[in-house]
Amino acid sequence: MISNAIRADLSALGLHADAAEETTEIATPQPEQIEDWLGLFYVLEGSSLGAKLLVKRAASLNITESNGASHLAVQAGNAANWSAFLGVLEAMQHLNEARMIHWANETFSFAHQAFETVMENNLADH
């Protein structure tokens, strides 16, 4: 949902726009059961909460939608998805919580590695 915005931000920041593709070096999580998807969505949708703060921090550095923070703007504007996700979570019963938490951690780990890979590949080129 935000990959185009991320590509535009990388380009605006003078980083390789195509570096986003380099995350294919990392194994993509392959969710199967409902708990796997819920753990994954927890991280993807929850990240919009922090994005609201990060939009302001970026703006204080003069980085806005037009020059590097467009993906944050999209995330911050998606607050309704988080409430909808919580509604789904509340309605679910008999979930394997440990499995859900494991998948949230897997998703965090993937995001972290994706970020590190793009940054390292860009720094290596300078």
- Residue 46 lies near ligand HEM (rule: CB under 6 A): yes
Rounded (5°) CA angle 87-57-67: 100
Task: Find the binder of ligand HEM among 8, 12, 26, 43 (CB under 6 A).
Answer: 43
| Cβ nearer to ligand HEM, comparing 114 with 125 | 114
Picking from 89, 111, 105, the residue whose alpha carbon sits closest to that of residue 38 is 89
Judge contact between 29 and 84, C-beta under 8 A.
no
Binding-site size for ligand HEM (CB under 6 A) equals 10
| Cβ nearer to ligand HEM, comparing 8 with 54 | 54
Distance between CA atoms of 9 and 24, rounded to whole angstroms? 19
Residue type, position 61, single letter: L
79-91 vs 34-60: helix crossing angle, rounded to 10 = 150
| Cβ nearer to ligand HEM, comparing 61 with 125 | 61
- Residue 111 lies near ligand HEM (rule: CB under 6 A): yes
Task: Find the binder of ligand HEM among 47, 63, 69, 106 (CB under 6 A).
Answer: 47
Residues that bind ligand HEM (CB under 6 A): 42-43, 46-47, 49-50, 53-54, 108, 111
